[in-house]
Chain A
Amino acid sequence: MRIEEQTASVAGLPAEPEKATLEGKNKILGFWFFLAAETTLFATMIGTYLALKGETMNGPTPYELFKMPMVAFATLILLTSSLTSVLGIMGMHANQLKKLLQWFGITILLGAVFLGLEVYEFMEYAHEGHTFTSSAFGSSFYLLLGTHGGHVLFGVLWILGLMIQGRKKGITVHTAPKFYVASLYWHFVDVVWIFIFTVVYLMGMIP
């Protein structure tokens, strides 16, 4: 057991348990770098979408396709989930495991609802002849949205795993960086969605 953990068990949890150990600090910094890398991944996909969105091959155009009310609702849900993950981290800082687990639970629930809406939306589009292989517009659309959706799914499973860990081990200087990093990830996925919402959906509303 290292010195940081010893003090933690004697004097209670430090104020910012995620940054109390060098491992924790490394993890957080490394994750920021990882998010920077992800930014260019999504930038490439958004760029490709912008270049190819006009190539519908006589299929439905973005303007004909997108159902704004549902997408706006999904956006609202995802943005709310960002807030609930912050509340979870506040629970962690207050050393209240129950609060942390509750808010994280709500977060992944909202994430799952978002995914459900997205799957429903894609099925609707497929009915109208807009699929992954129908046109270059379709391919670039589903690559971008699918990569984002895949990130949401991964986040849901990841945070679920962390909640199980949290129940078993509680909030320690070991587990705190994991919760913190997962919430960073969740915010990032949200920020990407804001860009997708603007570039794909709002700009798609221009006939």
Chain B
Amino acid sequence: MATLIVIIVFALFLGAILTGGYNREYLERMQKSWIWQWITTVDHKRIGILYLLAGGFFFGVAGLEALLIRIQLMFPDNQLLTGDFYNQVLTMHGTTMIFLVALPLLFGLMNVIVPLQIGARDVAFPFLNSLGFWLYFAGGLLLNLSWLFGGAPDSGWTNYATLALNDYSPGPGINYYVLGLQIAGIGTLISGINFLVTIVNMRAPGMSYLRMPLFTWTTFVASILILFAFPPLTAGLFMMMFDRLFDTKFFAISGGGNVTIWQHIFWIFGHPEVYIIMVPAFGIFSDVISTFSKKRLFGYNSMVFATVLIGFLGFMVWVHHMFTVGLGPIANTIFAIATMAIAVPTGIKIFNWLFTMWGGRIRFTTSMLFAAGFIVTFVMGGVTGVMLAVVPANLQVHDTYFVVAHFHYVLIGGTIQGFFAGLYFWWPKMFGTLLNERLGKAHFWLFYLGHHLTFFPQHFLGLFGMPRRIFTYMKGYELEMSNLLSSIGAILMTAGVLALLYNIMLTLRKGEPAGSDPWDGRSLEWAISSPPPVYNFAQIPRVRGLDPWWLEKYEGDGTLKAAEPLGPIHMPSPNHLPFLMAMSFFISGLGFVFHSWQVGFLGLIGVAIILFVRSFEEDHGYHIQPDEWNGVES
């Protein structure tokens, strides 16, 4: 409690020093500063950039953790990170990458691009959009504070019960995991609902469901998965939190609890979660491949159908993470078959992408390289996925490096490469400049070859019997060579990411201006200026077919048709409450981590007060008169 007051006073003090002392204009000056404008923004494009910044920051943190892991495993009997510290690094690498990197980076692209693709001025709930971001950031910060205060969580990203309970994990580590993910999870759920309502209600006239670009479709499906997958995580985290803080008996065998329940709940959430971060990448690849092949997407309807089917089946397969638990041959068989069935819609997608490229006029830009490379990598990851779905084989390689190789092939090959493809593709739309293609290609080749060098040998490590989550291995078991190669690959990947960072810094300093439509694009976002004006479309466009902008360019007169007369545009006002609410949640979480009920409840009371203030607030927004020369066609 005292610490808290000290921190608040210190923050006020620091603000005063930086802006020139306390006086009547203190508040006013703070409100004019750029930090305040970014904190209070409700513009979907700015929030998207915030997501990219925060996700990028956590990507750096978790990437360094990965590098440390690989350095430790480079040689046998290495002593760099041992025992508990290795467990912490490993746990935080997985947790951060899944929760704080993969999804937020994709959320960043979705936030900027989806409203543009459907011809909307903003998302359905600008306030909630901001709230979702700040909750995610508060949760992520809370989780990573564990490094400084009390030690990081150390029982794996799956956080299995017994190991994660007080007996075996004393100290605040797992509390950080539980509360950090709880807060970030609320933010994710809010953002998911926001995307759903945006896509259902805010589409421009003529933008029917089967005219939506694939990235919008996959955002829609991923949001439905978020809607049904995150609440079970919330419930499970509550149980874990109560077991640890209040001594309840959900997972404690001594009180009749059952550890398998945590596994079920975690994977009922966890399997859809990996599809949540996979499916939007499919959408990015679809848009990128059709744009750079100068063809409409092959089999658009089957692509949509496959996406929905993958989303649906994603909920039916969670037990394939639990084959070794011993649920019996019937349960295992059903879930094995359901798992293999997912290969069918995924195969449909792979062939559709290949047929889109077939006979197209392909341009191998960096974005397209990532997309084409993805097809190869993802097929390999998919094949090992089907191998793992075979129960007897699974029993052999469960918890070995074979599994590690499999999920890094699909997650890096899919999600991360998808994000990179999307970043190079939409960067000009977001910032108005082109990323350097030479450096981009260096990035691709370093990262892509590095990825295969890192993870291909790990298949064999797994087959030779090297278990995952083990901090060292001994000489003479034929594990040395593959581990060394794998670590060299990780260094190559790091070099690739550094090339991207250098590229970004170079482009931000003096990038080549992009113009509104640098790639000869197909969907609506390429019809407006880069970066788009704050209201996006001066007039809401009328959509006349699939790939509407391509249609207007090559079959129309090259301008979008408007669906409304030019007039003043209503915009929502910026709001500071989302930030305050996330701060209250953060304070509450920090209190509960250290068993300080006063601070915990103080934070929750703050949340309740802000809810009421928001409910009574009337936001009339403001109006913009659009610049007619900067209008729809630009």
Contact with B along A50-64 (1 / 0, CB 8 A): 011001110000000
Question: Of all chain B residues, which has the CB nearest A174?
Answer: B618
For B125, give its contact among A2, A26, A178 (CB under 8 Å).
A26
For B256, give its contact among A2, A22, A57 (CB under 8 Å).
A57
| B261 pairs with A143, CB closer than 8 A | no
| A52 pairs with B201, CB closer than 8 A | no
Whole-angstrom distance from the CB of B346 to the nearest CB of chain A? 25
| A51 pairs with B231, CB closer than 8 A | no
The residues of A that contact B166 with a CB separation of less than 8 Å are none
Contact with B along A144-170 (1 / 0, CB 8 A): 000000000000011001100100000
| A36 pairs with B228, CB closer than 8 A | yes
* CB under 8 Å from chain A, chain B span 201-256: 201-202, 227-232, 234-236, 238-239, 242-243, 246-250, 252, 255-256
The residues of A that contact B252 with a CB separation of less than 8 Å are 136
Whole-angstrom distance from the CB of A176 to the nearest CB of chain B? 14
Question: Of all chain A residues, which has the CB nearest B194?
Answer: A30
Contact with A along B251-270 (1 / 0, CB 8 A): 01001111001000100100
Whole-angstrom distance from the CB of B219 to the nearest CB of chain A? 14
For B249, give its contact among A33, A40, A138, A157 (CB under 8 Å).
A138
Question: Of all chain A residues, which has the CB nearest B190?
Answer: A34
State A44–B232 Cα separation when bound (angstroms). Answer: 6
Whole-angstrom distance from the CB of B613 to the nearest CB of chain A? 10
Residue A183, interface by CB 8 Å: no
State A52–B255 Cα separation when bound (angstroms). Answer: 10
Contact with B along A166-189 (1 / 0, CB 8 A): 000000001000100000000000
Whole-angstrom distance from the CB of A171 to the nearest CB of chain B? 15
State A109–B289 Cα separation when bound (angstroms). Answer: 60
Whole-angstrom distance from the CB of B534 to the nearest CB of chain A? 18
Residue B3, interface by CB 8 Å: no
State A138–B228 Cα separation when bound (angstroms). Answer: 27
Residue A193, interface by CB 8 Å: no
For B197, give its contact among A26, A133, A136, A139 (CB under 8 Å).
A26
The residues of B that contact A125 with a CB separation of less than 8 Å are none
For A29, give its contact among B200, B238, B250, B258 (CB under 8 Å).
B200
Residue A45, interface by CB 8 Å: yes
For B258, give its contact among A36, A40, A136 (CB under 8 Å).
A136
The residues of A that contact B189 with a CB separation of less than 8 Å are 37
Whole-angstrom distance from the CB of A193 to the nearest CB of chain B? 18
Question: Of all chain B residues, which has the CB nearest A139?
Answer: B248
| A135 pairs with B232, CB closer than 8 A | no
State A45–B232 Cα separation when bound (angstroms). Answer: 8
The A interface is mostly helix, strand or loop, or mixed, namely helix
The residues of A that contact B620 with a CB separation of less than 8 Å are 1
For A136, give its contact among B125, B232, B255, B265 (CB under 8 Å).
B255
| B615 pairs with A162, CB closer than 8 A | yes
Residue A81, interface by CB 8 Å: no
Whole-angstrom distance from the CB of A46 to the nearest CB of chain B? 10
For A48, give its contact among B197, B230, B235, B615 (CB under 8 Å).
B235
Residue B405, interface by CB 8 Å: no
State A133–B242 Cα separation when bound (angstroms). Answer: 9
Q: Known: A41-B234, A139-B248, A139-B255. Is A34-B239 also a contact (CB below 8 A)?
A: no
| B250 pairs with A52, CB closer than 8 A | yes
| B268 pairs with A52, CB closer than 8 A | no
Q: Known: A30-B124, A40-B228, A40-B232. Is A52-B256 also a contact (CB below 8 A)?
A: yes
| A139 pairs with B236, CB closer than 8 A | no
The B interface is mostly helix, strand or loop, or mixed, namely helix
The residues of B that contact A161 with a CB separation of less than 8 Å are 612, 615-616
State A33–B248 Cα separation when bound (angstroms). Answer: 31
Residue B499, interface by CB 8 Å: no
The residues of B that contact A45 with a CB separation of less than 8 Å are 235
| B242 pairs with A143, CB closer than 8 A | yes
Question: Of all chain A residues, which has the CB nearest B265?
Answer: A44
Residue A137, interface by CB 8 Å: yes
Q: Known: A30-B124, A30-B125. Is A38-B248 also a contact (CB below 8 A)?
A: no
Residue A67, interface by CB 8 Å: no
State A140–B250 Cα separation when bound (angstroms). Answer: 7
Residue B570, interface by CB 8 Å: yes
State A135–B250 Cα separation when bound (angstroms). Answer: 8
| B265 pairs with A133, CB closer than 8 A | no
Contact with A along B601-623 (1 / 0, CB 8 A): 00000001000100110101000
| B249 pairs with A136, CB closer than 8 A | yes
Question: Of all chain B residues, which has the CB nearest A38?
Answer: B231
Residue B276, interface by CB 8 Å: no
Q: Known: A136-B250, A139-B242, A165-B616. Is A34-B256 also a contact (CB below 8 A)?
A: no
| B256 pairs with A133, CB closer than 8 A | no
Residue A132, interface by CB 8 Å: yes
State A140–B258 Cα separation when bound (angstroms). Answer: 11
The residues of A that contact B616 with a CB separation of less than 8 Å are 161, 165
Residue B193, interface by CB 8 Å: yes
Residue A25, interface by CB 8 Å: yes
The residues of A that contact B194 with a CB separation of less than 8 Å are 30
Whole-angstrom distance from the CB of B614 to the nearest CB of chain A? 10
The residues of A that contact B101 with a CB separation of less than 8 Å are none
The residues of A that contact B116 with a CB separation of less than 8 Å are none
Residue B196, interface by CB 8 Å: yes
| B230 pairs with A37, CB closer than 8 A | yes
State A62–B15 Cα separation when bound (angstroms). Answer: 58
State A135–B252 Cα separation when bound (angstroms). Answer: 9
For A30, give its contact among B197, B239, B242, B257 (CB under 8 Å).
B197
The residues of B that contact A133 with a CB separation of less than 8 Å are 246-249, 255
State A88–B469 Cα separation when bound (angstroms). Answer: 58
| B249 pairs with A139, CB closer than 8 A | yes
Q: Known: A56-B256, A136-B249, A162-B615. Is A37-B235 also a contact (CB below 8 A)?
A: no
The residues of B that contact A40 with a CB separation of less than 8 Å are 228-229, 231-232
Question: Of all chain A residues, which has the CB nearest B250?
Answer: A139
Q: Known: A29-B197, A38-B231, A44-B236. Is A136-B612 also a contact (CB below 8 A)?
A: no
Q: Known: A48-B250, A139-B248. Is A36-B227 also a contact (CB below 8 A)?
A: yes
| A33 pairs with B615, CB closer than 8 A | no
Which B residues are within 8 Å of any A CB, using their own CB?
124-125, 128, 189, 193-194, 196-197, 200-202, 227-232, 234-236, 238-239, 242-243, 246-250, 252, 255-258, 261, 265, 268, 570, 608, 612, 615-616, 618, 620
Closest CB pairs A-B (n = 5): A55-B256, A41-B231, A136-B256, A139-B248, A44-B235
Name 28 interchain pairs, CB-CB below 8 A, sorted by A. Answer: A2-B570, A25-B201, A26-B125, A26-B197, A29-B200, A30-B128, A30-B194, A33-B227, A36-B227, A37-B231, A38-B231, A44-B231, A44-B232, A48-B235, A51-B261, A52-B261, A55-B255, A55-B256, A55-B257, A57-B255, A133-B248, A135-B249, A139-B239, A139-B243, A143-B239, A143-B242, A158-B615, A165-B615
- List 7 other contacts, CB 8 Å, given A26-B197, A29-B200, A51-B261: A30-B125, A30-B196, A33-B227, A41-B235, A136-B250, A143-B239, A174-B618
